[in-house]
Amino acid sequence: MLSSDYADKVAVKLALRRELRLASFLGTGLRTLGIEAKNLTDTGAWRYPDTVQWAAAAHRAGLDGAVWMSRRCNSERAYVLFGDRVTADDLEIQPDYVRVFGAGTDLDWLIDFCARFRVDVLPPL
């Protein structure tokens, strides 16, 4: 990946201003749904159309989003929030964690972080 792909991207830590209702695509949530991670969240990109259907079902059920264990970093949870259910007023950016990937130490952090997953972020030319 080129670092220019991230020049206008940021990462922040968010705090919730209200409790969110999320589909649980992990642990007992998967068991309740009668599906295993290998069939939903621990899959390759070729299964994306299937995962979209599960997200659409969560949306139809009136949920605010979904949570699952990250495939690439399975010690961390990944989240998707539905933009028509969760607004900026529901979230608060925490000022103690903001990374701007355009250049400098934050870009260096991104390059090092992605290297752990064998993803190369090429520095600017």
Q: What pLDDT is stored for residue 2 in this prediction? A: 65
Q: What pLDDT is stored for residue 3 in this prediction? A: 63
What one-character DSSP code corresponds to residue 112? Answer: H
Answer yes or no: is pLDDT of 4 > 80: no
Residues 30 and 79 in one domain: yes
Residues 72 and 26 in one domain: yes
pTM: 0.79
Q: Strand 65-69 vs strand 22-25: parallel, antiparallel, or unpaired? A: parallel
Inter-CA distances, 33 with 49, 50, 90, Å: 18, 14, 28
- What lies within 8 Å, CB to CB, of 4 at 6+ separation is 124
- In the chain, the number of structural domains is 2
Q: What pLDDT is stored for residue 63 in this prediction? A: 98
Summarize pLDDT for 6-65 with one digit per residue, the tens. 888 899 999 999 999 999 999 899 899 898 888 888 888 888 888 899 999 999 999 999
List the domain range (segments joined by +) for residue 8. 1-13+89-125
Residues 57 and 77 in one domain: yes
What's the mean pLDDT when you consider all of the chain?
Answer: 89
CA gyration radius for the chain? 17
Residues 4 and 31 in one domain: no
Residues 28 and 79 in one domain: yes
